[in-house]
Amino acid sequence: MTNDRGQTGTSGQPAGVDFVWGASTSSYQIEGAAHVEGRGDSIWDRYCRELGKVQNGDTGDVACDHYHRFREDVALMRELGVNAYRFSIAWPRVLPRGRGAANEAGLQFYDRLIDALLAAGIEPWVCLYHWDLPQALSELGGWENRDIAGWFADYTALVARHYGDRVKRFATFNEPCVFTLFGYGLGWHAPGIADRAALHKAIHHVNLSHGAAVDVLRASVAGASIGAIHNRQPCYAATPAKEDAEAALRLAAYWNDAFPYPQHFACYPPTLLEAIEPYMEPGDLARIARPIDWFGLNHYSPHYIKADSNLIGATFGPPPDDVPRTPIGWPIVPAAFRDTLLDLHGRFGLPIYVLENGTASEDKLDAAGIVQDDGRIAYLQGYTGAMGEAIAAGADVRGYFVWSLLDNFEWTAGYTQRFGIVYVDYPTQRRIPKASARWYADMIGKERRQMVPVGNNVAAAAEG
Ligand code: IFM
């Protein structure tokens, strides 16, 4: 397999291999067990404790208690028939202070999880970073400190050493545009910083950390298949006003290009270069642009952008009135997903894995013990159908992972938004597969039996 520069990756899926159907989660959103067996604080533990930052004062202290109930969750996935599970490792669980002494109990938790997945025939896909930076490192400047590339490389080496015999699929970062822009630029997420210099330093240091981690994984995991997970969404102007059109272009550079461009093309988007250049050293772009094996895409909906007085001069506006929306107001536009997949294929030339797609809906457990989430089924039908169209038009999409396996801690929305295909009754921690879980399982089953391109079966399911 070759990447966009014609270089051969050391591994990856050969053409013709079965499409991967999976489910995704992340450590802080589901694990709980925040203060047990040696786990250190992350920036989200700290952020949640700051009154008023997260709805209802919710925290990830217990979340879905996956730390103790992972066997049940693996059994659920086995029943669904998914062949891969994407989860993240909590850096502060394995290195409580982010560097230095490792926490054996934390390492063993992921051993147990990985072994249970393999025993169930489910391939583990490990993401190294899904936003839960060790608080101790944040106190040293976190992503603003250039030294973090070395700390991240050391953490990656620990993970590679420990799990590389059983795990081959690694993603370096999940949605770097979100945690840098929201966490360091707009102050909406942990660690709650809104500062121009902080944002641009963080972007560059995350990119350097990505390159360093790719090198570590390549050198230490035989047969590693490595990628990074990015959001990519069309950023439309919210109104015909010139200032909104300019704002949309500014936001798109941060959202869509600030990470994939240096990682794949060894350059920053021209509109960001001036702000990032002061933090660059000679050779940095070559350190960042290391060959990888696949492009991980998270996609939910297009953005409608308007001008703002914040430090990037842009923010998220409402979609036009005629665009359908999910219960939390996210636009439902499957055609934008199809076009994004085709654009990605043309632009980067790497195999694509969709590693997040799904919707929050107003799920209620009815008197019969059923969660009839028809809105989510319609959303998933529309989006997997659009993916089928992109594949038919030539996009090299190799897998689809639903977000999310379980209802979970949705960052500043706390537990008010349910994204799972499995309902979690938080007071009892009972798991109840929703109607969408049954739909997903049926669709996977049909795809496997009929071995025809995805989309055709989705359409058939929609017809009846
Ligand atoms: O829950 C999040 C996830 O952590 C990152 N991508 C978007 C999801 C839904 O908001």
Q: What three-state secondary structure class fits 329?
A: coil
Please tell me the distance from the alpha carbon of residue 91 to that of residue 97, in angstroms, as a whole number: 9
Q: Where are the alpha helices (DSSP H) in 328-397?
A: 334-348, 374-392
Please tell me the distance from the alpha carbon of residue 257 to that of residue 263, in angstroms, as a whole number: 10
Side chain identity at residue 430, one-letter code: R
Q: β-pairing, 430-433 with 422-425?
A: antiparallel
Counted domains in the chain: 1
Asked whether residue 13 is domain-assigned, the answer is no
Which one of 42, 361, 403 would you pick to mutate in the ligand 1 pocket, going by the greatest count of ligand atoms within 8 A of its CB? 403
Please tell me the distance from the alpha carbon of residue 345 to that of residue 334, in angstroms, as a whole number: 17
* Ligand 1 centre distance from Cα of residue 328 (Å): 13
Provide φ and ψ at 227, rounded to 5°.
-150, -175
Which one of 127, 326, 407, 410 would you pick to mutate in the ligand 1 pocket, going by the greatest count of ligand atoms within 8 A of its CB? 410
Asked whether residue 66 is domain-assigned, the answer is yes
Q: Give me the pLDDT at residue 15, please.
A: 35
Question: Are 91 and 148 contacting, i.e. CB atoms less than 8 angstroms apart?
Answer: no
Asked whether residue 343 is domain-assigned, the answer is yes
Q: Give me the pLDDT at residue 450, please.
A: 67
Asked whether residue 356 is domain-assigned, the answer is yes
Asked whether residue 4 is domain-assigned, the answer is no
Q: Is the dihedral of CA 230, 236, 241, 245 positive or negative?
A: positive
Q: Give me the pLDDT at residue 1, please.
A: 28
Nearest residue (by CA) to ligand 1, atom 5, is: 175
Joined together, the tokens standing for residue 101 give 């002494």
Q: Could you tell me the residue range of the domain that residue 307 belongs to?
A: 20-463
Asked whether residue 228 is domain-assigned, the answer is yes
Nearest residue (by CA) to ligand 1, atom 2, is: 410
Angle at alpha carbon of residue 421, lines to 298 and 33, rounded to 5°: 85
Residues with CB under 6 A from ligand 1: 26, 29, 175, 298, 356, 403, 410, 419
Q: Give me the pLDDT at residue 51, please.
A: 80
Give helix 374-392 / helix 334-348 axis angle, nearest 10°. 40
The CATH number for 358's domain is 3.20.20.80
Cis before residue 318, ω within 30 degrees of 0? no
Give the atom of ligand 1 at the shortest distance from the alpha carbon of 403: 8
Give pTM, 2 decimals: 0.94
User: What stretches in the chain show pLDDT beneath 50?
Assistant: 1-17, 452-453, 455-464
Q: Give me the pLDDT at residue 14, please.
A: 33
Residue 259 burial (CB count, 10 A): 26
What size, in residues, is the chain? Answer: 464
